[in-house]
Amino acid sequence: MKTLTLAKAGIASTIQDGGRLGTLQAGIAPAGAMDPLALKAGQYCLGHRAGEAAIEIAYGNIRATSSHDCSLVVTGAPATVLIDNEPAPTQCIHTLRAGQTLTIGPPSEGVYSYLHVSGGFNTDLVFASRSTSPREGIGGLHGGYLRDQDVIPLSDGASVSDTYRADPGLCKIAQRAVLTLRYVPGYQYDELAPALIQRLNEDHFEVTAKANRMGVTLNGPLLQTGVESLLSEATCQGAIQIPPDGNPIVLMKDRQTMGGYPIPGAVIESDCARLAQARPGQRIRFAACTPQEADNIRWLEHHYVETRLR
Amino acid sequence: MLFTIGPAGDTAMRLTFQEPPSPHLTHLLLQLQRTAQAHFLDALSDSVVGYTTLTLFFMPLRLQRDQVSAWLEKTARSLSDSKQVEATSNKEAVVLPVFYDPAVAPDLTSVADDLGMTVDALITVHSATLYFAYATGFAPGFCYLGTLDPRLKTQRLSTPRLRVPAGAVAIADQQTAVYPCESPGGWRIIGACPVTLFDITATPASTLAVGDSVRFEAIDEQTYCSLGGQL
């Protein structure tokens, strides 16, 4: 069996693909790559067409060896790549020979990098996805964060593959002093106090250290709703959830599937990935947009990605 | 019945009924959910029934939000006007054994004290009600059960516990639930249920589904342990 052995697994590495569909009513979060564009870029670089999974690495720092020759690419947050301690150019496809050591250093910016290996990882599918949900203990290699000395099975197709015309540099890192998160107002928007909505739309917030795959907590003016809880309803990605303490939390891929806190709206998918790649301290502002504007942004991005990746 | 339809983010539409939760409303929402799944097939990525809501998640490159909201508007109106809402679950009430004892339920005594009743009376009231499953989610296998006898209405803990053990039977406001796996939680724990409520290898993975009826049955320590309960 072809395998990749992790000598050093990093602080919060997980196997992720596009995530799950149809599991929300059962209480299972969709999971999936926090930066779907970076995942897709790597898949296209290696000619992966079946939604192959990658290792999502938070803040870099992993070391691995492969049992067989393979091609690999690192996408997402730009990190230094060393092969047998020799620096390799970033943002290109590398050949890793059997027994050679791959080292991925800390990224210079952003949070999540993605290690793709030709053929993809051959871990078990759970509800048709290889994504890891650590809270539920499902997916990935053993349901949790990858650990030092883990041995990950590679698919038989793993070999040195042809190069494809794709841009490995595509990802969602925002090099902006203030990152604007566009959001679609929900039905509670009109029920919340106008003064609160005004603060949400006009003031600046900051990403805190409480940022992970479940959600990103922001610091800023307190948004006191005076509402303890509402009838539980489905949460969606990007939902701006306001708990009683007034610090908004933007819900991400491993969110709890039901929630009862006030939610003025939800950040559009495109900007969720930008928020995922933002480090603590990043300044944030919110901008309400119509659903039609959100659709236009999606179509433009879809077109751009297809142009850059093919 | 009055309802509103609006976006839940950029890839979902939410239907919200303007009336209090009831088993009838839940059955209507479940029927709408089944109809939506049959109509949109895999252009729907997911759908979730809440207390008074149905949220439809759509594949944005395959389905337009206007199509979803137009369909919801039409179908919700005709279903809520017709008298043909079917109860989904013909299965009998699910009976869950509960060991009500301070050894496994840290809040049992204090809840009884707060409510001004004896522990025995609390157990009798909690296990006498036939509960209805209004929603599932939060965590895998977690099921929101109502409606709690008004005599048992309590506040949540002011500071949630970081770890509530799997099997904890808890109450909050007018709801009760069993925690299917260890998780954080602010509900007050009055018992422990030794039955596994979520098993990824089983079909279905969750023992409880929206629309089910559930009853709790008090058991003694010996029965609790013989069913696999941990003290």
Q: Is A75 on the interface with B (CB under 8 A)?
A: no
| pLDDT-derived band at B205, boundaries 50, 70, 90 | confident
Contact A26 B140 (CB under 8 A): yes
pLDDT digit string, tens, across residues B182-198: 888 889 999 999 999 99
Q: Stretch A280-302: mean pLDDT, rounded?
A: 95
Task: Give the per-residue pLDDT at A205.
Answer: 98
> Distance, in angstroms, between B156 CA and closest chain A CA?
11
Using a pLDDT cut of 70, give the percent of chain B over it: 97
Task: Give the per-residue pLDDT at B89.
Answer: 59
Gap between the Cα atoms of A68 and A88, Å rounded: 19
* Contact (CB, 8 A) for A192 and A262: yes
Contact A138 B8 (CB under 8 A): no
Contact B7 A186 (CB under 8 A): yes
Contact B141 A256 (CB under 8 A): no
> Residue A8 corresponds to which tokens in the numbers above?
């050093």
Task: Give the per-residue pLDDT at B160.
Answer: 77
Neighbours of A267 (CB within 10 A): 30
> Distance, in angstroms, between A135 CA and closest chain B CA?
8
pLDDT at A157 over 80: no
Task: Give the per-residue pLDDT at A138.
Answer: 92
Q: Is A138 on the interface with B (CB under 8 A)?
A: yes
Task: Give the per-residue pLDDT at A161.
Answer: 61
- A186-195, A223-232, B46-55, B84-93, range with greatest mean pLDDT: B46-55
> Distance, in angstroms, between B60 CA and closest chain A CA?
8
Residues 6+ apart with CB under 8 A from B143: B133, B135, B136, B177, B178, B197, B206, B208, B209, B210, B212, B214
Gap between the Cα atoms of A213 and A129, Å rounded: 17
> Crossing angle of helices B65-81/B23-40, nearest 10°?
140
Contact B137 A25 (CB under 8 A): yes
Q: Stretch A133-156: mean pLDDT, rounded?
A: 94
pLDDT at B17 over 80: yes
Q: Which of A199, A254, A232, A63 is nearest to B210 (CA)?
A: A232
Contact B16 A187 (CB under 8 A): yes
Contact B12 A236 (CB under 8 A): yes
> Distance, in angstroms, between B10 CA and closest chain A CA?
6
pLDDT digit string, tens, across residues B94-151: 999 999 999 999 999 999 999 999 999 999 999 999 999 999 988 889 999 999 999 9
> Distance, in angstroms, between A79 CA and closest chain B CA?
31
What secondary structure letter does DSSP report for A229? -
* Contact (CB, 8 A) for B187 and B156: yes
> Residue A253 corresponds to which tokens in the numbers above?
């891929």
pLDDT digit string, tens, across residues B212-221: 999 999 999 9
Q: Which of A140, A55, A67 is nearest to A104 (CA)?
A: A55
Phi-psi region at A110: left, alpha or beta (left = phi > 0; alpha = psi -120 to 50): left
Contact B9 A237 (CB under 8 A): yes
Per CB-CB distance under 8 Å, the chain A contacts of B11 are 236-237, 269
Task: Give the per-residue pLDDT at B170.
Answer: 96
The answer to ipTM > 0.95 is no
Per CB-CB distance under 8 Å, the chain A contacts of B53 are 231, 233-234
| pLDDT-derived band at A228, boundaries 50, 70, 90 | confident
| pLDDT-derived band at A162, boundaries 50, 70, 90 | low
Query: Shortest CB distance from B138 goes to which of A236, A238, A256?
Result: A256
Contact A234 B48 (CB under 8 A): yes
Q: B39: buried, middle or exposed (CB in 10 Å: 19+, 13-18, 0-12)?
A: exposed
pLDDT at B90 over 90: no
Q: Is A180 on the interface with B (CB under 8 A)?
A: no
Task: Give the per-residue pLDDT at A96.
Answer: 94
Strands B94-98, B213-218: parallel, antiparallel or unpaired by DSSP?
parallel
pLDDT digit string, tens, across residues A278-287: 999 999 999 9
| pLDDT-derived band at A244, boundaries 50, 70, 90 | confident
Gap between the Cα atoms of B17 and A144, Å rounded: 39
Task: Give the per-residue pLDDT at A104.
Answer: 97
Average model confidence (pLDDT) across chain A: 92
